[in-house]
Amino acid sequence: MTPEQTGIAVPPITPQEYGVGARFTLSVYDSDYVSIILGALGEADADGLVVETNDISTFVGGTEQRVAGFLRDVIAAAAARGAHLSASILLSRGCPGELQCELPPGATALAASPIALAATGVRARAHWSLYPLLDAGQAGGDHMAAIAAAVDHARETGLYAGSDHYATRLDGDLADVLETAANAWILVGRTVQHVTTHLTVSINSPSVVAG
């Protein structure tokens, strides 16, 4: 029975209840990495976000727009120091908790608005993978069709720069790279509850070293 049918108001699910957030590792290829990473994390606006840093990565929870904005700010601040860096980013929505999806009763795929990020002036190249985590027996098409639609969207934005094994290559302003990946994640999330996406972003690379 829907809320409309029962007449009982159901509080909206918050981004935190829906498990909207990111986990990322910022790697700075420089012996001065501690001050660069801590400086970048310290400068970014964490208002309205849950930010938890440990020895492997940093978790950021909040709305799609605020989470992506935080990633943009932290990575751009680190990049401004000039060192070569890479960021390994996981975005997830639709599955809070750890080993089980601890969603409020009745929750299914929850739409969110596309995000928009201001340009940074920092060129980023990225490998990007998108995972619509369907269950067998569920309605909603096949996972590769959802991925193909997202890549078509990346072509339209001009960020698409080729396909390598297991990943799509994006190339452009850091803000546009993050925006393209996040908006595909949000778009697939309109019909699939649990969607994750992984990005490896490379900035200030001096060469073709895999670093």
Write out the H or E segment, with its range, that includes residue 126.
strand 123-132
| CB 8 to a copy of itself: min, Å | 28
- Binding residues for a copy of itself, how many (CB under 8 A)? 74
Residue 65 Cα distances to 15, 102, 175, angstroms: 11, 23, 12
How many CA within 13 A on the CB side of residue 3?
A: 8
Per the CB < 8 A criterion, the answer to whether 91 and 165 are in contact is: no
Return the residues of window 122-161 that contact a copy of itself according to CB under 8 A: 125-127, 129, 131-144, 147-148, 151
The answer to whether 105 contacts a copy of itself (rule: CB under 8 A) is no
Smallest distance, a copy of itself to C-beta of residue 88, A: 4
- List binders of a copy of itself among 81-100 (CB under 8 A): 84, 86, 88, 90, 92, 95-96, 98-100
Q: Name every residue whose Cβ is closer than 8 Å to that of residue 155 and which is 6 or more positions away in sequence.
A: none
Cβ nearer to a copy of itself, comparing 5 with 172: 172
* Contact indicator for 147, 130 with CB cutoff of 8 Å: yes
Q: Give 13 or 101: the residue with its C-beta nearer to a copy of itself.
A: 101
Name the burial class of residue 18, with classes exposed (0-12), middle (13-18) and buried (19+) by CB atoms within 10 angstroms of its CB.
Answer: buried
Ranges within 15-74 binding a copy of itself (CB under 8 A): 19, 21, 23, 25-31, 33-34, 37-38, 41, 53-59, 61
Identify residues 189-208 at the interface with a copy of itself (CB under 8 A).
194, 196, 198, 200, 202, 205-208
